[in-house]
Structure 1
Amino acid sequence: MSGPLFSASWYRVAQLTPRLRSHARIHRHRYRGATWYVLQDLSTERFHRFSPAAYLIIGLMDGRRTVQELWEAATARLEDDAPTQDEVIQLLSQLHAADVLQCDVPPDAAELLERRQRQSRRAWQSRLLSPFAWRFPLFDPEPFLRLFLPVVRPLVGWVGALLWLAAVGPAVVLAAVHWPELARDVTDRLLAPQNL
């Protein structure tokens, strides 16, 4: 428990009767000797990690108990390790933001639409800004290879090897001839500020 036990905003959530949506699954994992609970959202394939105290509260969410009853049960069972009211509010906010929480309050359609648009914008920006996230469609190269096979066939084999040797051989000879100039002060050039 960290911070004050009670929250000034508790009255807003105390009478809610939350439960997890049917597309949420919880799995128990051990990370570096500590037990954590991972909530898997089957509809979006996102994962959220929770502590055992948070799992206790999530496990008690059945749609009949109020948040006040959930918190009282958690404090009775966990005593000094029980989450504060602010931590319970934060947990409910995280579950709501992940779209895995269902309450007796009707959902705000405008807020849901805005959140979905914000998530898709963020996903689009991350895909655009990260070249490793770019996706290119795969295609069958067979027609392309069949078309250019008559052009490429002579280059694969002895003729191609001789052409490659004619291009690379002089470069290797020139590198061997100028090796002292190439190898001199190599560490100074590698560690020069303009090369870092």
Structure 2
Amino acid sequence: MTQERPSQRMRDLGVVQSGAGILATPARPFTLPAEREEAERVVDDLFAAIDRISQVHPFAKGMGIAAPQIGIGRAVAIVQPTGDAPAITLINPRITDRSGGTDEQYEGCLSFFDVRGLVPRPLTITVETTALTGETVTTLYERGLARLVHHEIDHLDGLLYTARMRNGVNPIPVEEYRQTGQSWSYETT
């Protein structure tokens, strides 16, 4: 009997897989507060997906999921940091500033979970989101949290992390990925 591939497990949990058109299409923003009920419903669906997924796979580095990954083409994503930190809800997120400093770390993606890729990302990003009440909120994210948030915003822009990888660098099979379960490491500054 063959063991189920990680990507098949994610598909079975309701995660849209690479190759689906919705993952390559920019998500439609919410008009808030007019679409508040719709936004709340999608946020609830995302939290339900996180709950299902985290019951079958531990995420030592935190995790995130964007609405297109559950088949909803709207601009909302959830990032669950490591530990007891509260989840971050990103509605209509837009990166308004990024640090000049970058680093490369391995990332995985629920939409093609059989591989991991070495992805360069800014060490710091500033993100504007929309509150359910319609106000704009600006937040600064650093290091691992910046990486998670940036990854999810890319999903909402119709990009997979492979679009960010350097030329000539390819994802590696999860079996070859040797840092499974370890946190990203950052130089102290």
TM-score range, shorter chain: under 0.3
Richer in strand (by share): 2
Normalising to structure 2: TM-score of the pair?
0.25
Normalising to structure 1: TM-score of the pair?
0.24
Richer in helix (by share): 1
Which is bigger in relative contact order (C-alpha 8 A, separation at least 6)?
Answer: 2
